[in-house]
């Protein structure tokens, strides 16, 4: 048999987990099949699997696809509907082993187009050793007149970031991921919008970002990311992975990033902050609720795969409670409730059980064929906001006009 091919999201914990799972799967089933796993950055992964029809034409048997793309993948007929496979031979404890928020986005048109692989909604990651330090607490109270605690409002967030910003110690108040890859800044904008009571969708169910909360969101975000007295100077070139690594190396007091980067900082060898971190909900504007964003990764099978049964057997193996736990100890984020509650995992990563809380406040992005294009527009808009002084209201209006042209 020719090689079995898997398109993998480039990230060391994913790569090591996938190899270990494949080796264990072959051993257990007495198979002599080599898997060719190609790790790719986001853009390349989307291109090769969906745009260039790699999944549809059978070039890939399995691919990591994130939920932002699953609508596209299904409508391009790139991924296999697993419904009949699951009905005949369900994964371990399906569907009850997962939180409902990890099973919804891949259910489209009465089909099931993937199984949860890696997760971890957006949250505020912070250095509890700094927040709990008596000297820091004393100095903070003297300077700002209130007790040092994790920020509940965006105003407090800026004040705390400025307080901890100490470039001479290679410590910065906070880290953002502002590399324009159509993801991080879009997600940051959505979080700013939602925590101010805004929405991406109007009452006619159309995408509408031209609103007062959106103006406030963009105004705040462009100001904070350019604040040299509060933000890591390399934020402009950091993607989420680089931002996560910088936090793990002890370069910031706070970060807004995926939960996965908090847990990674507890397990990877390079981390200088093991045992010193915690996570909490994001700040919000007064009178508005916190929010999180849930985008997760799926295991999918290519509709053109010549090895569909083998691929599904591997997916069942890769999503057992044991495999899910392995992903976590390697530095990824398991998706099963059993992993979240696992005592040994919570000993290793003391805040792991908080995943359930994050999922309760987690919102998702609109599932519409135009979303990838809207993403590009928002990404471009936020970048323009950061690098110019064009008023936010004008940028939002221009972007909304572009969105309406494609609707």
Residue 407 scores a pLDDT above 80: no
pLDDT of amino acid 181? 81
Alpha carbon distances (Å) from 103 to 115, 117, 211, 321 = 8, 11, 31, 16
Alpha carbon distances (Å) from 325 to 26, 107, 180, 329 = 19, 24, 32, 6
Residue 2 scores a pLDDT above 80: no
pLDDT of amino acid 102? 94
Q: What is the mean pLDDT of residues 237-252?
A: 94
Going by C-alpha positions, the residue among 42, 109, 99, 37 that lies closest to residue 69 is: 42
The overall pTM is greater than 0.85:
yes
Residue 259 scores a pLDDT above 80: yes
4-119+296-363 under CATH 3.40.190.10, yes or no: yes
Predicted confidence band of residue 337 (pLDDT cuts 50, 70, 90): very high
Q: Can you give the residue ranges of every domain in the chain? A: 4-119+296-363, 122-293
pLDDT of amino acid 361? 85
pLDDT of amino acid 205? 87
Is residue 56 within 8 A of residue 76, CB to CB? The reply is yes
Q: E-strand spans in 129-214?
A: 172-175
CA distance 116 to 200: 25
Q: Give 318-333 pLDDT, tens digit per residue.
A: 999 999 999 999 989 9
Q: Give 16-49 pLDDT, tens digit per residue.
A: 999 999 999 999 999 999 999 999 998 899 999 9
Q: Give 351-400 pLDDT, tens digit per residue.
A: 999 998 898 888 989 888 888 889 999 999 999 999 999 999 999 999 99
Residue 32's contacts (CB-CB under 8 Å, 6 or more residues apart) are 26
Mean pLDDT computed over every residue of the chain? 95
Q: Among residues of the chain, what percentage have pLDDT more than 70?
A: 100
Which CATH class for the 122-293 domain?
alpha beta
pLDDT of amino acid 179? 87
Residue of higher predicted confidence among 116 and 101: 116
118-146 burial: b if 16+ Cβ within 10 Å, else e: bbbbbbbbbbbebbeeeebeeebeeeeee
Torsions phi, psi of 270, nearest 5? Answer: -70, -15
CA dihedral 242, 243, 248, 252 (to 10 degrees): 140
pLDDT of amino acid 1? 62
Q: Give 144-198 pLDDT, tens digit per residue.
A: 999 999 999 999 999 999 999 999 999 999 999 998 887 889 999 999 999 999 9
Domains 4-119+296-363 and 122-293 equal at CATH topology level: yes
Residue of higher predicted confidence among 294 and 163: 163
Q: Give 41-95 pLDDT, tens digit per residue.
A: 988 999 999 999 999 999 999 999 999 899 999 999 999 999 999 999 999 999 9
pLDDT of amino acid 369? 81
Other C-beta atoms closer than 10 Å to the C-beta of 406 total 11
pLDDT of amino acid 372? 83
Q: E-strand spans in 26-109?
A: 35-40, 62-66, 107-108
Q: What is the mean pLDDT of residues 242-250?
A: 96
């Amino acid at each position: 048999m020719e090689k079995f091919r898997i398109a993998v999201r480039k990230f060391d914990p994913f790569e090591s987990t996938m190899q270990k799972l494949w080796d264990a799967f072959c051993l257990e089933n007495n198979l002599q099949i080599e898997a060719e796993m190609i790790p790719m950055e986001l853009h390349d992964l989307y291109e090769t699997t969906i745009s260039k029809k790699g999944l549809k034409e059978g070039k890939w048997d399995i691919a990591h696809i994130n939920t932002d793309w699953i609508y596209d993948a299904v409508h391009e007929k790139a991924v296999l509907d697993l419904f009949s496979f699951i009905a005949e031979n369900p994964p371990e404890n399906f569907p009850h082993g997962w939180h409902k928020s990890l099973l919804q986005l891949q259910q489209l048109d009465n089909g099931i187009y993937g199984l949860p692989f890696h997760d971890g909604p957006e949250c505020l990651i912070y250095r509890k050793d700094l927040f709990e330090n008596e000297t820091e607490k004393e100095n903070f109270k003297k300077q700002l007149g209130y007790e040092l605690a994790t920020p509940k409002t965006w105003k407090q967030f800026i004040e705390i970031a400025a307080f901890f910003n100490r470039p001479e110690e290679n410590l910065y108040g906070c880290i953002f991921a502002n590399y324009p890859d159509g993801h991080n800044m879009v997600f940051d904008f959505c979080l700013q919008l939602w925590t101010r009571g805004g929405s991406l969708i109007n009452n006619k169910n159309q995408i509408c970002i031209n609103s007062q909360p959106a103006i406030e969101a963009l105004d705040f975000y462009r100001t904070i990311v350019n604040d040299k007295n509060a933000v890591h100077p390399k934020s402009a070139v950091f993607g989420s992975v680089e931002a996560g690594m910088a936090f793990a190396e002890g370069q910031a007091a706070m970060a807004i990033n995926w939960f996965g980067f908090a847990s990674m900082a507890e397990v990877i060898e390079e981390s200088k902050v093991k045992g010193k971190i915690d996570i909490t909900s994001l700040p919000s504007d007064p009178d508005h609720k916190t929010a999180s964003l849930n985008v997760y990764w799926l295991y999918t099978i290519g509709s053109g795969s010549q090895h569909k049964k083998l691929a599904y057997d591997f997916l069942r193996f890769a999503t057992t409670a044991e495999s899910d736990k392995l992903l976590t100890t390697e530095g990824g984020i398991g998706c099963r409730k059993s992993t979240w509650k696992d005592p040994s995992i919570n000993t290793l990563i003391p805040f792991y059980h908080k995943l359930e809380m994050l999922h309760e406040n987690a919102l998702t992005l609109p599932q519409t064929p135009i979303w990838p294009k809207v993403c590009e527009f928002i990404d471009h808009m936020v970048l323009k906001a950061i690098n110019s002084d064009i008023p936010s209201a004008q940028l939002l209006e221009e972007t909304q006009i572009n969105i309406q042209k494609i609707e």
